[in-house]
Amino acid sequence: MAKQVLVSGGAGFIGSHVTVELVQAGFDVVVADNFSNCDKTCYEGVCKILGCRPPLVEMDFCDLAAVERLFADYQIDAVIHFAAYKAVGESVAEPILYYKNNLLSFLNLLEVARRKGCNVLFSSSATVYGETDVLPVTEQSPRQPATSPYGNTKQICEDILRDSVKAYPGIKGIALRYFNPIGAHPSALIGELPRGVPNNLVPFITQTAIGKRECLSIFGNDYPTPDGTCQRDYIDIVDLARAHVCAVARMLDGKMEEPYEIYNVGTGRPISVLELVNAFEKVNGVKLNWKYAPRRPGDVTAIWADPTLANEKLGWKATRTVEETLASAWAWEKHLAGE
Ligand code: UD1
């Protein structure tokens, strides 16, 4: 019988891509989402890609009784937890909202998962590494104090998971630290759907290219990097989704070597903002209106992953080129525009 994976926040950007890859790898998936930060577009896209409708439960993980009902209704073998707020700036303005939502939902999920002996995969972020001179970062690189409540919720949830699997031997946990997820499914049926003005670079680029935004600001050209703009490790969303399939298989196949494992999910390849903008223009044959603007507060100069551990232990490797990824992002933006 196929193993059943619960994907909390499964209708969102990463969750929808993970749902597709899990089902295509032979898992059964239950999607749970409260649609607080997404609509049904991506869930419908998932169904179209798969040609079937994974069960969808509309619920809030802050509601413990709802989480209990969910686990009573479905035989869940493993959980991937995405359901959380994710806007850095908003978290600075609304810390209570962020701490309450992101911590309570995770605690509720863990409480029930542990009763059921169900392993948990947590979606963490490279933001936990903060600003560092030693690059690339490995999982052993020290975490820095978080610069936003959002980043702090990632660190706290990692710690909650680490302490819980230590205390409750019936469950194991994996934290995946994502670098910068970008792009869309090659079908252009699912992708990122930012609300309002995008904060992240690639949605801002595609919205500028399509004419929704007038001009892209490149934040800072005086960083100590080869071209003066920040460097990041941009990871294709489908590659990222596949890392979850590998991690879930490792948990369910009893292959974990420690009760709590952490993996960087990145390419190992730094790309500057300027390089990304140039690559986008070149691969898609579009001219982007952009200008240099002052540095954005809170941005780190450069960060990229050492993905060796994920390569070796998860048997996972990023495969798509940044050109393929930027072409998929553009195809998705055009799909949204009805082109
Ligand atoms: C941010 C979050 C990270 C989160 C990630 C999700 C922090 C500090 N950052 O990463 O936690 O996981 O989003 O994808 O918590 N840029 C521009 N112009 C723009 C937008 C961005 O030049 O209009 C630049 C930024 O200065 C940065 C790069 O593009 O150098 C990437 O920015 P962004 O996509 O927002 O991601 P991060 O800030 O790296």
Q: Is residue 195 part of a domain?
A: no
One domain for residues 124 and 160: yes
Confidence check: pLDDT of 339 > 90: no
One domain for residues 277 and 296: yes
Q: Is residue 172 part of a domain?
A: yes
Structural domain that includes position 214: 201-232+268-336
Q: Which atom, in ligand 1's list, is nearest to the CA of 148?
A: 15
Q: Which atom, in ligand 1's list, is nearest to the CA of 232?
A: 39
Q: Please name the residue that has the structure tokens 């409260």.
A: 34
Are 252 and 121 contacting, i.e. CB atoms less than 8 angstroms apart? no
Confidence check: pLDDT of 195 > 90: no
Pocket of ligand 1 (CB under 6 A): 88, 125, 127, 148, 151, 180-181, 199-201, 204, 216-219, 230, 232, 273, 296, 298-299
What digits encode the pLDDT tens for the residues 199-236?
999 999 999 999 999 999 999 999 999 999 999 999 99
Q: Ligand 1: distance of its center to the CA of 169 in Å?
A: 37
What mean pLDDT comes out for the span 96-118? 98
One DSSP character per residue, 34-46 reads --SS--SHHHHHH
What digits encode the pLDDT tens for the residues 260-301?
999 999 999 999 999 999 999 999 999 999 999 999 998 999
One domain for residues 151 and 224: no
One domain for residues 168 and 284: no
Average pLDDT, the chain: 97
Q: Which atom, in ligand 1's list, is nearest to the CA of 125?
A: 12
One DSSP character per residue, 106-157 reads HHHHHHHHHHHT-EEEEEEEGGGG-S-SS-SBPTTSPP---SSHHHHHHHHH
Return the pLDDT at 61.
98
Q: Is residue 34 part of a domain?
A: yes
Confidence check: pLDDT of 168 > 90: yes
Number of domains in the chain: 2
Q: Is residue 192 part of a domain?
A: no
Q: Ligand 1: distance of its center to the CA of 53 in Å?
A: 33
Q: Which atom, in ligand 1's list, is nearest to the CA of 204?
A: 23
Q: Whose CA is nearest to atom 12 of ligand 1?
A: 125
Q: Is residue 193 part of a domain?
A: no
Q: Ligand 1: distance of its center to the CA of 141 in Å?
A: 20
CATH number, residue 125:
3.40.50.720
What digits encode the pLDDT tens for the residues 8-54?
999 999 999 999 999 999 999 999 999 998 889 999 999 999 999 99
- Token pair in block for residue 223: 């960083």
Indicate whether this model's pTM tops 0.85. yes
Q: Ligand 1: distance of its center to the CA of 296 in Å?
A: 9
Q: Is residue 32 part of a domain?
A: yes
Nearest in space to 161 (alpha carbons), one of 178, 173, 150: 173
CATH number, residue 275:
3.90.25.10
Instruction: Let me know if 223 is a catalytic residue.
Output: no
